[in-house]
Chain A
Amino acid sequence: MHFAKLADAMNRNQIEVPSGVGSGVMLDVLQGFVHELRAAGLPVSMTENLDAMRGVEHIPLTDRDAFREVLAATLVKHFRHRRAFDTVFDIYFALYSGGIGADGEFGDGEQPGEGEESGGIPGQQGSGGSGEGLSNEELAEMLLSALMSMDREQLRQLASAAVARFAGMEPGRPVGGTYYLYRTLRQLDYDGLAQRMMERGEQQGSADDAPEDLNARFEREEFQQRLKEFREMVEAEIRRRLVADRGVEAMARTLRKPLPEDVDFMHASREEMQQLQRAIEPLTRALAARLAQRRKRRNRGQLDFRATVRHSLSYGGVPAEPKFKNPRPSKPEIMVVADISGSVASFARFTLQFVYAMAGQFSKVRSWVFIDGIDEVTRFFEESNEISEAVHRVNTEADVVWVDGHSDYGHAFEVFHTRHLAEITPKTSIILLGDARNNYHATQNWVLKEMREKARRLYWLNPEPRGYWDTGDSVVSEYGTYCDGVYECRNLRQLERFVSAVIDA
């Protein structure tokens, strides 16, 4: 088959120019692109790769949006992966800004470093696009009016001019794109722009039939949306220049972002936190559905002797069809005990959120949080309608400081022992969360020993990479000897796997 041969050639890195599939350059580019997607963690199969190649044959290569969508439709099969795809796409095709010419040349001849500010802005021609003819104030003024009228073409040119002037990019300088972005936006007073747009809007007396307050809200949202778009333009411009400077592969490597399910809880940026937040809900929903189904099918229940005999009468007394009792669903009871001191707070928050989002899968969920004191927080989850609200209250209202607000696992466990040990039943699974960094306090590991004896299972989840365990003041192994399992739990993927295993156990 034609495409099989083609794939073969690709694998052996011998790319010829087969008729009908764009050109050799195109193939090369696509192959590199798919390679990069895989490096970013996206599963792209051979079939999908071939689909992409067949797909791009059917669209004009000058249509960048359609080109992007064709690749996305054939290569990305999960919406959570779309962002990662877009990042790779933007890098990979950063230089082909207008679209990809049939021969893989720059679509509209726009090459980095020379005359990118072609027209539109007076005084921008030549001289590396720093736009000397324009003062900073004039630039800011133009930006403001372009934002007000939402002239995208103008904005794109302004973004380009602003980057040239403010980012201070030098070839070969080993600085990430974020730094340049920050510099550019600060010079443009990005944070103040929304306010200035609001003021400008008032001067112009925008039409308002609706009451002022509601209108103002819409206006603000509209402006924020526009600013976000402008910010993306600046980012794209910076990326384009970086790619031109350092080459596609190097850039793709530095800008590679983990997929949401692989983001490390302990080092997540604010933006990644939001992503995680959004990823939790669908993930738990999917997991719950899967588990419910599995449970239903697995437990057949015991043989129902009476029913079997009764049924056998219709076969003349031959027990042809055995009957089973309806299984009683055995839902485990969960106790979560979480360290919420600074270093592991976000991990505890996500895990609590995750566990409560799955509360329907357990017969009962109770939770405690501690630093050096310990407090039961089940009430917050029972009182609040929303998990995020409850988690917020846990962080602000729980009484977890006993002496100095440094983690003391030993004391927390001791208190738990005196107050709650009696409540542990053979149906209870206990999950302990924390990095076991005990600040050299007494570990009181006998508490765990007793807990394990009473409970059905005792697990420990540690958000630290395995390599750091037992270094410094971490005593995870000492506690671990009394647990049924100690798991590294650094991202959603590991958390999901753990929860699914616990429910099954």
Chain B
Amino acid sequence: MAERFSSVSDTVERLRTVDYLADTAIAGVVYLADRLEKPVLVEGPAGVGKTELAKAIAEVTGSRLIRLQCYEGLDESKALYEWNYKKQLLRIQADREHESDWADVESDIFSESFLLTRPLLEAIRSEEPIVLLIDEVDRVEIETEALLLEVLSDFQVSIPELGTIVGKQRPIVLLTSNNTRELSEALKRRCLYLHIDYPELEREKEIVRVRVPEIDEELAEQIAQVVRSIRALDIKKAPSISETIDWARTLLFLGHTSIDPQVIGETLNVLLKYQTDIAKARKELVDTASPTGRKA
């Protein structure tokens, strides 16, 4: 099949066209996923752009994004397929008058028109190019993971009544995980692995510039610096990229053109969500931000 990306640098550039700034690690893995036709397991702290990545890939490759949001209790009938049993009942009742034989009815009610497709089956049967995103896969029980394995390794689904449905094409598949539990070895083995962390200063600055174009370079730099400073503190939840962007928008909205301790103090609650974190950051950045007041 046609390859979506021609090289790692091509991947970087094309993702950039949809405002997703990928570093070598991200672009390398996406490129590899395309070439090896393997799913990618994306891990990392919340809000570093794991889901965004899937959206960006779908957009540049002109594919439809099919998303399966995982949660505890997700099962086959929600992820793969389900027989539309109400419709099956109707069919059987409607048949009473015609008295057709049982074998006909059976083969009829277990045909594709009585199948309710759920995201995974929908992805497999899709004619158009797609990107499949299996979001927060760590939320399903370890037993449920197993139902993903066939899809991930061979991109097919076995339905007892219909046989095996094989995918018409190999889409890019992304799985995201927030690390709330260890995923099974079997799942990891089938995937390429990508860990996205908080970005370096330069990249974060660029992200801010791209996402909030109204912000000038200097302010973007200051924003990135403050965020790096805060992330270096020992806090419960470090600000994510999306929070950085929110903060940038807030500053813009309030009409600040540069950052001083007072501005930080007033808007810190956009970046940090725990009261203890806010207090700590305030102490470090707002109250004692003097050259001698070094942090430990």
Contact = CB atoms under 8 A, between A and B. Distances in A.
Interface in B15-47: 24-25, 28-29, 31-32, 35-36, 38, 40-41, 43-44
B225 A221 contact: yes
A217 B276 contact: no
B232 interface: yes
A133 to B, nearest CB: 34
Contacts of A225: 201
Given A73-B32, A385-B276, A289 B180 contact: yes
A488 to B, nearest CB: 23
A211 B261 contact: yes
B179 interface: yes
Interface in B260-296: 260-261, 264, 276, 285, 289-291, 293-294
A46 to B, nearest CB: 9
Given A66-B8, A79-B195, A59 B259 contact: no
Contacts of A478: none
B195 A286 contact: no
Given A73-B32, A213-B290, A286-B180, A51 B38 contact: yes
Contacts of A47: 189-190
A225 B224 CA distance: 14
Nearest to B200: A225
A222 interface: yes
Contacts of A66: 8, 24, 28
Given A58-B32, A82-B195, A214 B289 contact: yes
Given A65-B24, A73-B28, A221-B225, A213 B180 contact: no
A27 to B, nearest CB: 18
A388 interface: yes
Band of interface residues on A: 35 or more
Which of A55, A210, A282, A385 has the most chain B CB atoms inside 10 A of its CB? Answer: A210
Contacts of B194: 73
A1 B289 CA distance: 64
A76 interface: yes
A122 B23 CA distance: 34
A386 B276 contact: yes
A216 interface: yes
Contacts of B260: 210-211, 214
B87 interface: no
A217 B289 contact: yes
Interface of B: 7-8, 24-25, 28-29, 31-32, 35-36, 38, 40-41, 43-44, 141, 179-182, 185, 188-195, 197, 201, 218, 222, 225-226, 228-229, 232, 234, 236, 258-261, 264, 276, 285, 289-291, 293-294
